[in-house]
Structure formats: C-alpha cells, structure tokens
Amino acid sequence: MQTSFVLAAIHTYHAMWHGSKNMLSKKLNLAFMALALFAETAFPQWAPIEGRIKTPWADKIDINNVLPEYPRPLMERKLWLNLNGLWNYAITAKDAPMPDKFDGKILVPFAIESSLSGVGKTLGADKSLWYERKFEIPEDWKGKNILINFGAVDWKAEVFVNGIKIGEHTGGFTPFSFDITKNLKGGENLLSVRVWDSTGGKIPRGKQSQKPYGIRYTAVSGIWQTVWLEPVEKTHVSSIRTTPDLDSSCFDIRVDSPDKSAVASISVMDCGKIAAQAKVPVGKTVPIYIENPKLWSPDSPFLYDLEITLSKDGKIVDTIKSYAAMRKFAMEPAKGAKSAKFTLNNKPFFTFAPLDQGWWPDGLYTAPTDEALLFDIKRTKDLGFNSIRKHVKVEPARWYTHCDRLGIVVWQDMPSMFGEGSKWQIRGYFKGEEPPVSKQFEATYKKEWEEIINCLYSNPCIAIWVPFNESWGQFKTVEIAEWTKSMDPSRLVNSASGGNFFPCGDIIDCHSYPMPKMFLFDDRKINVVGEYGGIGCVFEEHIWSKNKNWGYGKLKTPEEATKTYLEYAAEILELAKRGCFGAVYTQTTDVENETNGLFTYDRKILKLDEQKLREANLKISNFFK
C-alpha cells in the first residue's frame, strides 16, 4: 500500500475521534496520535513527481528494497549491505558547511532531477547537494575492515562518516570506494555526502544539459547508482583484470590487493567443473590455459565462471566470484583490392546496433529496476541486432553483465565534454591543425576516460572504445587514439565516431541522416556508418512533451516508419557488399523530445512492425555467416 494512503487513513480516523469528551474517545485519540507518529517513521512519505510519463517498472519500486541485486558482478562477495533507499537531502550554497536541517527525503540512487527521486529539483553550479543517512554495522562483521562503495555519483562527491571527511572523488561515471573502519563507532553511524555538479563547466556530461532541448536532455546530479557496504580483511582483493587470448587458448588474469605479499588462487570453471587452475602472487599477470576453449559470440555467449581466493600466510582471507569469456575482436588488414575487416574470433563480423542513450523518463540515468535495465538489451537482441552502441554514457556494472550473458557486442563511448576542442569538419580527413585545449580540460578528460576503460576492461561484451563523438570536445585525436589503444590493445579504437577524421585508430565512422551513406572510405580501416536513421514517429499518450517533438525527416505513421526503415536496411546491405562492416541505427527508444526511437520513451510500445524489423535486422547481422 502506498505510504500516502496509509497516513491518510490514520489521519482520517484520528479526525473522527478528535475533540470527543468521553474517556474511551480520549484514549482512542491518543492511540491514533501514536499510530500516526509510528506511521510517519515506518512509512516515510515518498512518491514520484507527478505529471511525467513513466515506465511499467516505476510502480514496482519498493522504497525499502531499491535495486537489491548485487551491483558488481565481476567481483562479487557474499556479504554486503545495500544502502539504497530514503536518505535526507538538502540543497545549500556551494561552499556551505554540513547542514543541521534537511529539505526532505530523496530516494537513492535516483538523481535529484528525476521523478523517482521524489524531489525533481535542478541543481546548479552555485549549489551543493547534501545527503545523509544512518547505518549500523552487522554484528557478524566485527573485526573486519568496512568498505563503502559508490557505483557512480555525478560529479564531485565528498564523503563523511560521523562528521569526518574520509575522501572525495570526481567523475560522474565510475565507481569508487573508501575504507571507513577507523571512522566507525558502536551502534548508529552517520553517513553524509556532499555533491557538486555543474552539468557543464568543461566536465564530461554526455547529453546532459541545464537547458534541455533537441538532442540535449535533463541534467543528472548526485548519487545515481547503488551505494553499499561490505566487510573485508585488511588483506583483500582490490581488483581483477581478465584478458582473453584466443590465439593462445588462455586467459591472462591479474589479481590486485593492497597487500603485495598475498597469493591468489584462481579456478576457471566450466558448468561447475574445473577447466583450469593457477596460483600467482598479487599484482602479476598469469596465463591460464584452457583446453579446447568454448568461444563467446552473440550466437553462443558462453561464460566461464571464476573462483578466486586470496591467501595470507597460508590462510584464506578473501573469496571472490567472477566470470570471463574467450573471444577476440580484431581488425584484419586489407588484402589486395579488399578493405580491412572487423573480425570476431578470427571471422568476419558485421556489427549491427541501435544507438542506446540509456535514459529513462522516470529515473533519467537510472533504470527503475534491474528488470527494466535488462529490458532494453533483451529486446534489442530479440529484434535481430547483435550489438549496442552505448552513446556518451556509462551504465551500471550490471548492464554490461547482462550484455555479457545475452551475447551483445558493445561500442563504448566516452561521455562527451564541451567548451573546448575542434570545430566539426564532417567531410574528408581533417585539414589544418587542431586547436589546443587547456591543461585542466585535457587532464579531466584523461582521468575519466582511463577510469572508464579500467572499470569496464574485464567485460567480454565490449569490442570498441569510442573516445570522441562528432568533434564534441575533440582534441589531440591521434595522441588520444594511440593512448586509448595502449591502455587496451585487445580491443578496437574508433577514434572519432562521426567526428573530425584522422588516419589513426582502427575505424572510419561516418554519420549520415537519415539515409545511411559512406562519404569517406579508407580501405586501410574498418569502415562503418556509426549513426543513421532517426525516423520520427509520435504516439501521443507516450511522449515527454506535446509541443517540441522531432525526428529526422517528417514524422511518420508506424506503417510509413516501417517502410522507411526497411529501405534503409536494404541500403545497409548494399554498403556491406562494398566493404562496410558496421552500422548503428538511431535509436533504441525515444528520449525526451526526440521521438525517433524504435520504442516509445516509456518502453510500452514498439513502433515498427516487429516481424519485418527482425527479419531485416537478421539479414544484416548474419551478412558474413
């Protein structure tokens, strides 16, 4: 039952008995007062902001059990404590001290601008957003070191425990952790977080805007992924890095720990049976060979389970569950008159994807539930695509695990920065010199891009790193492409999707709306159409705004949209015959005023004919089979 209904009923009955003179009535009056006070505590008032469309999963949210799934599948521990739920919040002046009073309740982990936060307010560069909640450490965690983990906070987060600052983090798209053991006390502890986010100011923000319009969407500020505690020994696993080497039939695995004297034991499991084992000092990469390895692909997304134990002086001090996949993404160089090829497991592969913005009308950056998070991926696969381009956003870790498990190849964009960089030269290779950017701009970009790559490195699904989109904040393109490749030689680098083109990286990526075209072709590179389509189609009861909707070209009926989509699909097949190895259709869903999605923004309607869409998509996805 909704909290508001519970409280309304209590207060109604209280009003009926209030003011009565007899003793029974007075006792009932006191009882209702006590019950109302209890209800205010046991059932805190929260409701989504009204007046906005919402997905089917918004009504399934339990404020006492928000996003309860373990948030880090690549490094899973048995014991953990979810801190999602209702927190106190306050908006203050940017440099104001920790507040004594709060403005109300906010539902974590939904950004303050979102409907599901229950607040729906905009933060600005001159303000800070404070969070506060209390927690207790479980009795069976005593004697352990306690880590607090944040999935992501946009943009600068300062963390306090019992009034003492324990650390800070900048960057709105990657996880971070602190050891809070020394700051804890018995019984209740107080956790406070101060957030500052300019949604601009030359920081990575993707498509967020303080003034949403067109392809710019509502700003996202504050905690937008799960917050949780976990107990560890002083010697514990801090990270795992897995690299498949298909040609050698092995996994190269490195386990890291703050204690460099620890030893990791690694078991690679195939359906519950040990396929291979190894023991290695932490911080060193060990090759683990697999006999007749099972390969990962969209057709057969096989995952090996990993069981990792960490030992200190012969005693097991940490146990981790993870997984890995044997697969290889590569560029096969051009031979003779033929162009370079994109290959998966040493075979030609056409990567066919929708452009996936990852936005939600109710949660903005945050899907209401894990079921919702899975929906977009599963339906993408159902519709015959084999890939997803994750557009200028980074998702929670579980999103990538869903792609790993379902067999979806991912292009991963760097969230764009604005305010500096080159102007767009859309045709041909870039002419002239790229203008310099400030040292702060470059340092911010590099810090966050490196953190994103390191964070997602071990997810098998990721095939392509995309440092820049359409010249947005583009600078030192050759250097950035080479640097990206040096951080991860196992994947392809699309140096500038639709941006200023340079003879670097592995891919030449043309954007062409609405009809797909390749206006630049280089047979030394993998050639793709990184964006096309964007067919507009409006369903009046499922739109964000009634006045500002748009798509590429005249808005169409579902029948017209399907016909046009099939025409574009036929052109993609023609491009594939001429050496194109990838394409990205805009887009998975409507997003705010963009009504050019395959699905409506609330995910309730697929706009095109599903059977015809799937048949056309499978012809493209299977082109090289």
Q: Look up the CATH number of domain 58-232.
A: 2.60.120.260
Count Cβ atoms below 10 Å from residue 140 Cβ, excluding itself: 9
Confidence at residue 239, expressed as pLDDT on a 0 to 100 scale = 97
Beta pairing class for 217-218 and 208-209: parallel
Fold of the domain spanning 329-621:
TIM Barrel (3.20.20)
CA distances from 326 to 252, 284, 401, 453 (A): 11, 20, 15, 19
Helix (H) / strand (E) containing 245: strand 239-245
Could you tell me the strand order of the sheet in which 526-533 lies?
492-493, 462-466, 409-413, 387-390, 351-356, 580-586, 526-533, 507-511
**What is the SS3 assignment for 516?**
coil
Please state at what angle helix 558-577 crosses helix 610-621, rounded to 10 degrees: 10
Residue 547 main-chain phi, psi, to 5 deg: -120, -15
Question: What confidence tens digit (pLDDT) does each residue in 412-457 have?
Answer: 999 999 999 989 988 889 999 999 999 999 999 999 999 999 999 9
Could you tell me the strand order of the sheet in which 164-170 lies?
104-108, 85-93, 127-136, 188-196, 156-161, 164-170
Confidence at residue 454, expressed as pLDDT on a 0 to 100 scale = 98
> What mean pLDDT comes out for the span 495-515?
95
Q: Which residues pair with 128 in a beta bridge?
A: 92
Question: What confidence tens digit (pLDDT) does each residue in 579-614 have?
Answer: 999 999 999 999 999 999 999 999 999 999 999 999
Question: What confidence tens digit (pLDDT) does each residue in 161-174 have?
Answer: 999 999 999 999 99
Question: What confidence tens digit (pLDDT) does each residue in 264-305 have?
Answer: 999 999 999 999 999 999 999 999 999 999 999 999 999 999
Considering only CA atoms, which of 382, 377, 298, 347 is closest in space to residue 615?
Answer: 382
Rounded CA separation 536/561 (Å): 7
Question: What confidence tens digit (pLDDT) does each residue in 38-87 have?
Answer: 554 455 579 999 988 999 999 999 999 999 999 999 999 999 999 999 99
Question: What confidence tens digit (pLDDT) does each residue in 141-161 have?
Answer: 999 999 999 999 999 999 999
Rounded CA separation 385/380 (Å): 6
Residue with tokens 């300019």: 198
Among 30-39, 316-325, 334-343, 574-583, the range scoring the smallest mean pLDDT is: 30-39
Q: What's the mean pLDDT when you consider all of the chain?
A: 93
Confidence at residue 277, expressed as pLDDT on a 0 to 100 scale = 96
Q: Domains of the chain: which residue ranges?
A: 3-42, 58-232, 239-324, 329-621
Q: Tokens for 521, please give them.
A: 């072709």
**Is residue 514 reached through a cis peptide bond, with omega within 30 degrees of 0 on the bond before it?**
yes
Q: Look up the CATH number of domain 239-324.
A: 2.60.40.10
Question: What confidence tens digit (pLDDT) does each residue in 533-543 have?
Answer: 999 999 989 99
Helix (H) / strand (E) containing 617: helix 610-621
pTM: predicted TM-score of the whole model, two decimal places: 0.92
Confidence at residue 288, expressed as pLDDT on a 0 to 100 scale = 97
Confidence at residue 29, expressed as pLDDT on a 0 to 100 scale = 54
| Residue 92 burial (C-beta neighbours within 10 Å; 0-12, 13-18, 19+) | middle
Rounded CA separation 110/119 (Å): 10
Question: What confidence tens digit (pLDDT) does each residue in 203-256 have?
Answer: 999 999 999 988 999 999 999 999 999 999 999 999 999 999 999 999 999 999
Count Cβ atoms below 10 Å from residue 19 Cβ, excluding itself: 9
pLDDT over 90 percentage in the chain: 87
Rounded CA separation 267/308 (Å): 6
pLDDT over 70 percentage in the chain: 93
Q: Residue 26: pLDDT band by 50, 70, 90 thresholds?
A: low
Question: First vs last Cα of the chain: how many Å apart?
Answer: 53
Q: Tokens for 435, please give them.
A: 């203008």
**Does residue 27 have a pLDDT over 70?**
no
Query: Please, what is the Cα angle at 416 between 410 and 420, to 5 degrees?
Result: 150
Question: What confidence tens digit (pLDDT) does each residue in 73-118 have?
Answer: 999 999 999 999 999 999 999 999 999 999 999 999 999 999 999 9
**Does residue 337 have a pLDDT over 80?**
no
Confidence at residue 549, expressed as pLDDT on a 0 to 100 scale = 85
Count Cβ atoms below 10 Å from residue 130 Cβ, excluding itself: 23
